Structure 1
Amino acid sequence: MSTQANRVMALSEWEDRWQEGKISFHRPDVHNLLEKNLDKVICGRKEVRFFFPLCGKAVDMKWLADMGHTVVGVEISEKGIKQFFAEQSLAFNEESVPALPGAKVFKSADGKISIYQCDLYKISSAVAGKFGGIWDRGAMVAINPCDRQKYATLLMSLMNNDCRYLLDTMEYNPEQYKGPPFLVLEEDVKSEYGGGCDIELLESVDAFVEKYRSLGLDSLTEKIYLLTLKAQ
């Protein structure tokens, strides 16, 4: 992590990636590890309210909405948000957010999916409410390493008492690639979330594919954790 500790990406750099179509982080299919572990998140509940930090145009949002859940995402790129609704053939409305000057929220016509277009750190439970589920794929590994404590504090503040937070991380040799996605070790997860959450490692899988070789990597492990708030 030390080689990446000072790596900082501005929001404008992420916006540029969307404008230039450099979005190799996007998956065109539902994430297999979400699908596999969904029951551990749902736990038999109906109409769970899910939060997607840095959601991009993740197809997982539509997949969960089709099951009867509701989804709230946050994404800096308006282009990414509009691509999501277009690609999923969803009618939507665009509204301003009185509590967040300059922000917008894009809502599907059926009200099942809402995506805020703003800086993630402007979101709060006062604006977006609290959630029963969180799917964090490509978010904690994308934020600047120096912001992790701020990020974890925000995410925990958005958790209902019964919230079940599925966190997807990546481990690789940081000498081979400067990120993003950034290296997030198990000790990092425990350091940032251990004070407020119980943490369970659900799965560790070899996720190395050819696109990572082009980044200079020779291996990559994906880990999925389940986080739940500690009893008060």
Structure 2
Amino acid sequence: MIPGSPGAAESAATEKLLAVMRLRDPALADHGVRTAHIAAALAAELGLDREECDQVYLGALLHDVGKLGIPESVLWKPSGLDRTEWGEIRTHPENGHRLVADIAAREVAACVLYHHERVDAEGYPFGIGLRTLPLAVRIVQVADAYDAMTSDRPYQGPRPVATALAELRRCAIGQFDAEVVATLGRLLAKVDPVVRTVTRSTGADVLPADPFGAGLRVAG
């Protein structure tokens, strides 16, 4: 059974989806696992109970499952996307929701559907303010962005932890939940307090290679 799963049926369905993701795109599945561990740590730090943390974990694990229907040539394009390709990318939250709506808890499905919404209502697919959505969604969004920035991507290399955290703080005004971003900063400082002294100019990282577990990569 997947760690963090609240029930056998949901776990079995999740494992099947993860198996398909890993077969289709191992990097996508790995991103889901790393994001899930970060999100679960954030949820616990924010005081959510075990059941709520479980839902956050599963929501993060599956947040990008809708990308299974997007061509690899678009997903991993090393240059900028054109309007048509960007339109394809923007379909993945609703695609994913259709896959999980009947097999996952409401909070899990919400994480899949709403993880690209924004505080300022400029996100997609619906353009609704993130503050009207469950805390689980806001947690997954920050975890997703942090892992994306600190991992190797086709269009950019991994950013140093300090740089990624600074970018999240900068974007907390309109895009992310500021409390969740601040909580991530506290978590990183707990992993290694020296992170508080890392400057943006040096780009140096002093965190261990796996601060949240499950193979989370940290750029050095």
**After TM superposition, is the score higher than 0.5?**
no
More strand by share: 1
TM-score range, shorter chain: 0.3 to 0.5
TM-score by length of 1: 0.35
More helix by share: 2
TM-score by length of 2: 0.37
